[in-house]
Structure 1
Amino acid sequence: MSINRLLSPFILKKGPQNEYNQELQKHPDAERIAFIDETFVDPSYDEKTGILRPGYYSIAAVVVEADDIAKFREDLPATLGGINYWHTTDAFNDQGLKKDPNPNADPENPSRKYSPWHVHQNIRPMLDTLGRNTKDGQNIVTLNFNIPYTDDPDERLRLRDAARAEAITALTTHLTHADPPTTTFVFEKVKGGDQKDKDTLNRLQNAGVIPSITSIFAEPTDEPLLWAADLLAWASRHLVNATTLTWLDDSKIKARFLDSHVQTELKTLNVRPLNQPSPRIKLYDEGTYREAGTPGTRTEIEATYRAAEANGTPVWAGPDKKSDRKNIAYRNAKDEAMGTPMPAEKEFELAVGRGYLTEGQAEKFDAEVATSSEPMDPETKESLELLATLRKGTETKTPVKPEQIQQASTQQQVHRPQINQSHGGVEL
């Protein structure tokens, strides 16, 4: 009987009844696994200053070869003497030095958040462990800059869910089509359940955007390699949020940053020193901020910021609230992403991942595809049926007004929907 390379003492101590242990037992032939975590910043509006700040959604993946999983997993808890849980944000906030506010808390056995090792000084050795155990190409971060602002909390959550679905679409598409491919993914369980992520992955597989994959949802108490993804997401957040390079660089962590919409590598984030454009120039006027590709998702979202500046609302260069100078990394990466043409194929993939067409896409579908009376071959009919299903999910609110979409669309080439034979879909 061959040895399951995915197991190690940390997992085996959980016992045979542990759900995650059982999942790993089912997939001994996995050649490599991507461990997934998230970080995000919602767009925000400051009523005191009248400043609108954009946000982003990021999915971080640490890809580990099967032969390296056991050692890497055991190295992480051993870094701090055998810990059983890690969360970088809690360490950064020195939660381990604070008293657990729970009146029923046992001082001898604090809750996970208030574990004594959650202190700022322990972040560096944990990042060093990540750096020692990974090589170039194993740390992947997808960045989704395309989230419009809204003051409606329900709509804000919907837009965040859409951004996450797009980031997952980009990551799984990239890794399943890489050489060699990754087809096994371990996601950290999220509050509120994992059904939305499962639905996203099912849509992508059913539409043929990605091949059949193995997806496992686990608690970070069961899998230390999710701590590695948490560390990568946290350090990347400090680079994107505040142009802080040292957390990644000093631990020799080689991260590849991908734009979620075009899935090309954002090389500006790995240039040293980072370029420092003036943060005070107007961001969204036609001469400064050029849109590229199809007038779908990105056009509609950028229209909200373009319209805001046209109405005299200051738009910050990034999410940092203290100094616009700290938004240099965000600004450079977003400018690089938006300067890259977006293939119609990617627009289709994002729609599948989200589970609905944007309102602009739906209008084009209704006007130019759904009303067509031309004969269709079976493949085209199947594609149109899929788009019709996505069209049904479009009936949601949007902060973008039709005239804003039209204004933004006139500033780039209008792309007419047509059958995309290479993808078996419709160019939106």
Structure 2
Amino acid sequence: MVFVDESLRPPGNSYGERPFYTMSGVTIPKESLESVRKELERIVGQDYWHTTEAYNGKLGPVEELRPRILELNEYLAQVVDFNIVTVQTEIGIGAEGLQRAREECITTLARVATNSRREDPPRLIVFEQLKEDVYPGGNKRDHDVLTRLKSAGLVHRSVTVESISPWDEKLLWAADLSSWSFYHRLARSDETWFAPLKPVTTVLHARTGMALKGSNPHLPQQGPGVQPTVGTQRGGGPAVASESRLVHQGKEGQALRAVRAVADAQRPALDHSVSLGVGTNSPKTIDAIKERFDWYLNAQRSQRADPAASEPIRQLLEQASQALKGRQRLQTSDQPAPRPEIGGPQR
């Protein structure tokens, strides 16, 4: 089972810092669920935990609770199967930009987590339940991302999704600890809290799908994938099409700058770009990739070259396109309310 939570620094935050969106997916073997749940409760010593509130002294004396954060992370490092953190550093304006970043992080996390190399890979993803009065339709949108990915054959069809309150599922505390700790690493360049989790964590950039640092033997290796896609990028290599978006600039710490530098040097694989198009419900993105992929194939043929893996990629694009068009027809009369603006730094 994969337990998921997020942290973010939104555009226009009061710190004047570059925004980001990050999501943690902590995977716990099913045979360990009950024992991990009980041990988390024992260490916490109460039936409620929220790392931000613990750190700020809202759950008790900080001299007691801050060391407990490290104790919890050290324990998790010993018992989790693996931890996936996805990061998006390109955030569009307003609620729509944050929603797209969330869907990109979910897409990348779900594909990697559920395709792990274990004999029994995770088949249940548990999100922290979003409050309907704050994020109307938010839980449904999270579930819809996975429905689209499954329809396109990008995530195994047996994967299911639940949205649960951390009051009801204490294992969500694990994801909260990971996302809070990684947030401090990016926003404040403070490695202290995340350090225990680093050996069991793979960090992926949501836009590229590439591992930024470290790896886990249970996870699919983040190779370059099929590269020929759209246009050219610096150095003359092919680049992947993406919808234009306004990116808020701002000052940033060393850790966030390093993440962006590594991601900017990577070339997204075509199948990952297709996944993002499906996960974010963007038929125009898929159509643009299809058009440019056909252009690439024709260019290769004119040079009497044999395009590698052309048929599987063509099938992937067609299946993704059909999946999105089918979902859009179903959703025509069931459009969720727009997500409200989120103000101020989170976590």
**Corresponding residue of 2:150:** 205
TM-score for both structures, normalised by structure 2: 0.71
Give 1:322-401 correspondences, 5 Å limit. Answer: 327-357=253-283, 383-386=320-323
Larger mean Cα displacement after TM superposition, 119-128 or 177-186:
119-128
Distance 1:257 1:219, change over 3 A: same
Tell me which of 229, 239, 256 is aligned to 1:294: 239
Per-residue CA deviation, residues 82-102 of structure 1 (Å, 9 max, x unaligned), is x11111111222224xxxxxx
CA distance in 2, matches of 1:118, 1:349: 45
1:38 is matched with: 6
Distance 1:384 1:186 in 2: 27
Q: What code does the residue aligned with 2:131 have?
A: K
CA RMSD of aligned residues (A): 3.5
Q: Can you list the C-alpha shifts for 1:167-222, whole angstroms capped at 9, x where unaligned? A: 11101100111111221211110122411111111111111110020222211011
Matched-pair contact (CA < 8 Å) for 2:57–2:65: no
Q: In structure 1, how many angstroms separate the alpha carbons of the residues matched to 2:25 and 2:175?
A: 6
The CA deviation at 1:45 is 7.1
Asked if the contact 1:130–1:253 (Cα under 8 Å) also holds between the matched residues in 2, the reply is no
The residue number in structure 2 matching 1:124 is 67
User: What's the secondary structure of 1:36's corresponding residue?
Assistant: strand
Note the alpha carbon deviations across 1:207-244, whole angstroms, 9 max, x for none: 11100202222110111111111011000000011110
CA distance in 2, matches of 1:91, 1:257: 25
For the pair 1:92 / 2:51, whether they are aligned, the reply is: no
Which position in structure 2 is the counterpart of 1:106? none
Cα distance change of structure 1 residues 292 and 173 upon mapping to structure 2, 3 Å threshold: farther
Check 1:58–1:385 CA distance in 2 against 1; reply closer, same or farther (3 A cut). Answer: same
Is 1:67 aligned with 2:31?
yes
Task: Report the Cα offset of residue 246 of structure 1.
Answer: 0.8
Deviates more, 1:243-252 or 1:220-229: 243-252
Whether 1:170 aligns to 2:108 is: yes
- The aligned counterpart of 1:190 is 130
Number of residue pairs the alignment of both structures matches: 285
What is the CA-CA distance between 1:363 and the residue it aligns to?
Answer: 6.2
Distance in 1 separating the partners of 2:65 and 2:279: 37
Cα separation, 2, equivalents of 1:391 and 1:138: 34
TM-score by length of 1: 0.58
2:225 alignment partner in structure 1? none
Q: Which amino acid aligns with 1:93?
A: N
Are the equivalent residues in 2 in contact too, given 1:37–1:188 (CA < 8 A)?
yes
CA contact under 8 A between 1:165 and 1:200: conserved in structure 2? yes
Q: 1: CA distance between counterparts of 2:257 and 2:236?
A: 14
Q: Which runs of 5+ in 1 are unaligned?
A: 1-32, 97-116, 151-155, 270-286, 309-314, 319-326, 370-375, 394-428
Q: Which runs of 5+ in 2 are unaligned?
A: 133-137, 216-232, 295-310, 332-347
1:316 aligns to 2:250 (yes or no)? yes
Which residue is 1:425 aligned to?
Answer: none
Provide closer, same or farther for how the CA distance between residues 364 and 34 of structure 1 changes in structure 2, counting only shifts above 3 A.
closer
Q: Call closer, same or farther: CA 1:383–1:361 in 2, change over 3 Å.
A: closer
Q: 1 CA distance for matches of 2:235 and 2:254?
A: 18
Give deviations 1:14-52, integer Å, cap 9, x for gaps.
xxxxxxxxxxxxxxxxxxx11111111112277xxxx97
* Paired amino acid for 2:140: Q
Instruction: Give the Cα separation in 1 of the matches to 2:236 and 2:6.
Output: 27
* 1:322-352 per-position Cα deviation (integer Å, ceiling 9, x unaligned): xxxxx10000011101111111111110010
Question: One-letter code of the match for 1:95?
Answer: K
Distance in 2 (CA, whole Å) between partners of 1:251 and 1:175 is 17
Correspondences of 1:155-304 after superposition (within 5 Å): 156-180=94-118, 181-192=121-132, 193-211=138-156, 212-249=158-195, 254-267=200-213, 294-297=239-242, 300-301=244-245, 304=246
Secondary structure of 1:245 counterpart: coil
What SS does the corresponding residue of 1:44 show, helix, strand or coil?
coil
Distance in 2, matches of 1:225 and 1:138, equals 14
User: What CA distance in whole angstroms lies between the structure 2 residues aligned with 1:294 and 1:78?
Assistant: 50
